[in-house]
Amino acid sequence: MNNSSNKSSQALRAWAEISLAQIAANWRELRRAARGAEVCAVVKANAYGHGAVPVSRALESAGAAWFAVSNAAEGAEVRRAGIRGRILVMGGFVPGEMDAFFEHSLTPAVHSIESLLDLEQRAGTLEHRLPVHIKLDSGMGRLGSREPAAEIAHAAARLRFLEIEGVMSHLASASDFESGQNEEQFDVFEQALEALRAAGVRPAIVHLGSSAPACYGIERAFHQMVRAGLALYGYVPEARGAAPALRVNVSPALDWKARIVEVKQIPAGAPVGYNARWRAPRDSRIAVVAAGYADGVPHTLAGRGRTIAAGRLVPIVGAVSMDVITVDVTECPPLRRGDAVTLIGNEGGARHDAADFAREAGVIPYVILCGIGNRVQRVYV
């Protein structure tokens, strides 16, 4: 990922301004809400588009001791950047990834007895001890072991090089307060945890909660650690049903901007973009903006999305192209080539954040933030 300084932003066509101080403030707010539980900073997927290395460095300086990534390559990148804290690899592993855990002192989540014993064998070959976290499938139906606690404990008793430091799971409907699935998963997880303890597996760290439990105060999910992702970057998972009062005050840390490459006058009835999906309802002024679907602007925003130009919310018109979008700036003060448009952020009295963009595109905020492409340079402010 290319990084840029503030001084060079004038030369950029599209860029994201990221406040590391705001991310650190969000982490401190989540730590307060977690009531003594460790807050593990989820920095997978390039820290949800914010930059895994700069974010991890800022959070370690703020006091973070745990970081979570999806795979061994992400973990190695963070470790090579000088992060000294613990790095949890949550997304499982294939055989070729195992050596990276030992080389970079990563802590893998293990999702089955088979993978646990494969990793033990590799640890024995390397004569290298390693802590691991066992993930249980409490109802997500994705990663995680569904094997009986007695079988997991039997396998654990055979370990010579691996230490089962943690037991974890993941809530499938953490911010859904209508379904009742949270309570079902709590029961399954707690029963399995008790069975493991009775069979001799006594983890030092138990973790189940993510952003939503911290934000809404679901303390049954806290245990010793909470894994914070979306809320770390300033967005509270949208609740369904009668949610408890929010326990946190977090703010977005990223503004996404792009420059106008052309402004043109078109007559009423003139088509704009591929397949003439939009025709000007009146004599109009159109700005062509240097951000398209290759940069992370969802194609579905055609005729539905908005940006901010000259401090006003304006519509995206015509098809979203690979490299540009077109916006109707007829009602705006005069604009010219080189002026910036705000796709995500605040400008003047207007606000348009990743959650707004997501609703317009028919996706979730994670998709917007993680989808901001490599051509959008990151500027740390």
- Write down the catalytic residue from 7, 44, 235, 293: 44
Q: Which of 48, 274, 293, 366 is catalytic?
A: 274
- DSSP at 136: B
Q: For this structure, is 257 an active site residue?
A: no
Please give the Cα distance from 259 to 291 (Å, whole number). Answer: 8
Give the distance, in angstroms, between the CA of residue 371 and the centroid of all CA atoms in the same chain. 10
- What is the CB neighbour count within 10 angstroms for residue 242? 7
Buried b (16+ CB within 10 A) or exposed e, 131-164: bbbbbbbbbbeebbbebebeebbebbeebebbeb
C-alpha separations of 353 from 77, 203, 211, 347 in Å: 29, 40, 18, 11
3-class secondary structure, 186: helix
The rounded distance, in Å, linking the Cα atoms of 51 and 45 is 9
Two tokens, residue 166: 């943690």
Active site (annotated) includes residue 135: no
- Number of Cβ within 10 Å of residue 335's Cβ equals 18
Residues 6+ apart with CB under 8 A from 239: 175, 176, 177, 212, 216
Other beta carbons less than 10 A from residue 368's beta carbon: 28
Positions marked active-site = 44, 274
